[in-house]
Amino acid sequence: MAKPLQVILEAELAAGNSIAEISSWPPKCGLLVILRRPFAQAYELSPDVEFAEINDTHYWKSEYRYKGGAQALACGFR
């Protein structure tokens, strides 16, 4: 996982969140990590990371995307 997303993932795991799924999201996203619960806080964005509110119960609540979606760290609703 890209370092900026790894930092967020580690902070979330330390705050008690857990990983629900690890996969890819073709055609663009080679690594998708989905956390069980919403993000515990808002994280500072680096130039290569953007945040998006998805709010689609078929998918996930929100996500941090690395380099336009090459990797993503998403969170669930519970």
pLDDT tens track for 47-66: 999 999 999 999 999 999 99
Which sign does the torsion angle of CA 32, 69, 2, 43 carry?
negative
Side-by-side strand order, sheet with 29-35: 19-25, 29-35, 71-75, 62-66, 49-53
What pLDDT was estimated at residue 30?
Answer: 97
- With H, G, I as helix, E, B as strand and everything else as coil, classify residue 53: strand
Enter the pTM of the model.
0.95
Domain boundaries, the chain: 3-75
